[in-house]
């Protein structure tokens, strides 16, 4: 089931168009990546999901019914432009923001205690935010985002400003939230973490969706039929494959093993490559090279630019 659906969303600011017929379907329990270059309209879409902005056109569904204003209690949002009241104490502030998300005071206190213990930050309770480092503040913000137990959690560039240790701590938390049943929308430029975390993605460019789907499907779609073969034996055999059907795009030697990257003509099956090589060399590994998200991102955006130009 899709926990959240946006159908043909349109949003204008004066004469500029921020979103043009954008649709997303976020399956329940998934980690959904929202990608796109700067200024593509990602933040606008996230603000629409959080009902900070209203769309000019299009419909929004939450749990298969129309999105209503109370639904913000079930959504957690960590905006890209984020901060806290500098002069306010950590505990007091977390409590206030939890109450604004509809959590009763007592319950909020209990939950905050749990998270502060989990992150081992109980001593911060009476400190002012300005006394904390940026990374510490980010942790507090993370807790605030998820404290009310939202079914849908939206992270906009969540890892910016985190050191690698805290990043991995947070990634672990994100995955455990997903395992506990939450759905996560995840907007970022960090393609490595997209590959690591996301199941589904949507790529928005210049206010339009240009790519959408399961991450594995997308990678398969953009694959270039390139295979990497690890082998022992003479490289000559590999290099002398019929030129029309096979193209050697790379070769290297590592730990006494040769690795050849061979692009295969689409009309051929990968078995035919193996059939040609098995008699000649001793194959130790064979895998298909799927493009990474970074390559896909650049390729798709550039292609789109060419079309629109």
Binding interface with another protein (CB under 8 A):
12-14, 47, 50-54, 56, 72, 75, 77-79, 81-88, 96-97, 99-102, 141, 144
Helix runs in 24-81, H state only = 42-49
Burial of 206 (0-12, 13-18, 19+ CB in 10 A): middle
d(CA 221, CA 238): 27
Q: How far is the CB of 197 from another protein (least distance, A)?
A: 22
- By beta-carbon proximity to another protein, the closer residue of 67 and 290 is 67
Q: How far is the CB of 239 from another protein (least distance, A)?
A: 55
Q: How far is the CB of 57 from another protein (least distance, A)?
A: 10
Q: How far is the CB of 276 from another protein (least distance, A)?
A: 59
- Residue 24, phi-psi category: left (phi > 0), alpha (psi -120 to 50), beta (remainder): beta
Please list the residues that pair with 6 across neighbouring strands. Answer: 24, 60
- By beta-carbon proximity to another protein, the closer residue of 159 and 246 is 159
- By beta-carbon proximity to another protein, the closer residue of 44 and 209 is 44
- By beta-carbon proximity to another protein, the closer residue of 26 and 97 is 97
Q: How far is the CB of 60 from another protein (least distance, A)?
A: 15
Q: How far is the CB of 299 from another protein (least distance, A)?
A: 31
- By beta-carbon proximity to another protein, the closer residue of 41 and 291 is 41
Question: What b/e string do you get for 97-109 counting C-beta neighbours within 10 Å, with b at 16 or more?
Answer: bbeebebeeeebe
Q: Rounded to 10 degrees, what is the CA torsion of 187, 190, 195, 200? A: 20
Give the full edge-to-edge strand order of the sheet including 257-264: 246-254, 257-264, 226-232, 282-289
- By beta-carbon proximity to another protein, the closer residue of 12 and 208 is 12
Residues in contact with 154: Cβ distance below 8 Å, sequence separation at least 6, in sequence order: 46, 49, 50, 75, 76, 77, 78, 184, 185, 186, 187
- By beta-carbon proximity to another protein, the closer residue of 81 and 306 is 81
Q: How far is the CB of 141 from another protein (least distance, A)?
A: 8
Question: What b/e string do you get for 29-68 counting C-beta neighbours within 10 Å, with b at 16 or more?
Answer: bbbbbbbbbeebbbbbbbbbbbeebebeebebebeeeebe
Is residue 305 a contact partner of residue 208, using CB atoms and an 8 Å limit? no
């Amino acid at each position: 089931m899709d926990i959240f659906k946006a159908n043909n969303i349109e949003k204008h600011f004066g004469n500029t168009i921020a979103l043009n017929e954008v649709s997303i379907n976020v399956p329940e329990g998934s980690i959904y990546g929202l990608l796109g270059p700067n200024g593509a309209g990602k933040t606008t879409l996230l603000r629409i999901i959080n009902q900070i902005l209203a769309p000019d056109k299009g419909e929004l569904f939450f749990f298969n019914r129309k999105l209503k204003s109370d639904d913000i209690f079930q959504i957690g949002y960590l905006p890209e432009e984020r901060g806290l009241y500098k002069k306010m104490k950590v505990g007091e502030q977390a409590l206030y923001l939890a109450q604004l998300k509809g959590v009763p005071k007592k319950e909020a206190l209990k939950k905050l205690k749990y998270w502060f213990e989990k992150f081992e930050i109980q001593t911060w309770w009476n400190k002012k935010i300005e006394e904390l480092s940026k990374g510490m503040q980010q942790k507090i913000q993370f807790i605030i985002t998820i404290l009310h137990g939202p079914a849908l959690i939206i992270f906009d560039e969540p890892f910016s400003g985190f050191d690698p240790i805290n990043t991995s701590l947070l990634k672990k938390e994100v995955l455990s939230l997903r395992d506990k049943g939450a759905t996560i929308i995840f907007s970022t430029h960090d393609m490595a973490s997209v590959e690591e975390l996301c199941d589904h993605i949507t790529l928005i460019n210049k206010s339009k969706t240009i790519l959408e789907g399961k991450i594995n499907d997308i990678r398969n779609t953009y694959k270039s039929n390139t295979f990497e073969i690890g082998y022992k034996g003479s490289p000559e055999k590999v290099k002398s494959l019929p030129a029309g059907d096979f193209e050697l795009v790379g070769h290297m030697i590592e730990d006494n093993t040769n690795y050849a990257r061979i692009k295969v003509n689409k009309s051929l099956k990968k078995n035919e490559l193996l059939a040609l090589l098995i008699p000649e060399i001793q194959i130790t590994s064979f895998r298909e090279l799927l493009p990474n998200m970074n390559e896909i991102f650049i390729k798709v955006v550039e292609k789109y630019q060419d079309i629109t130009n």
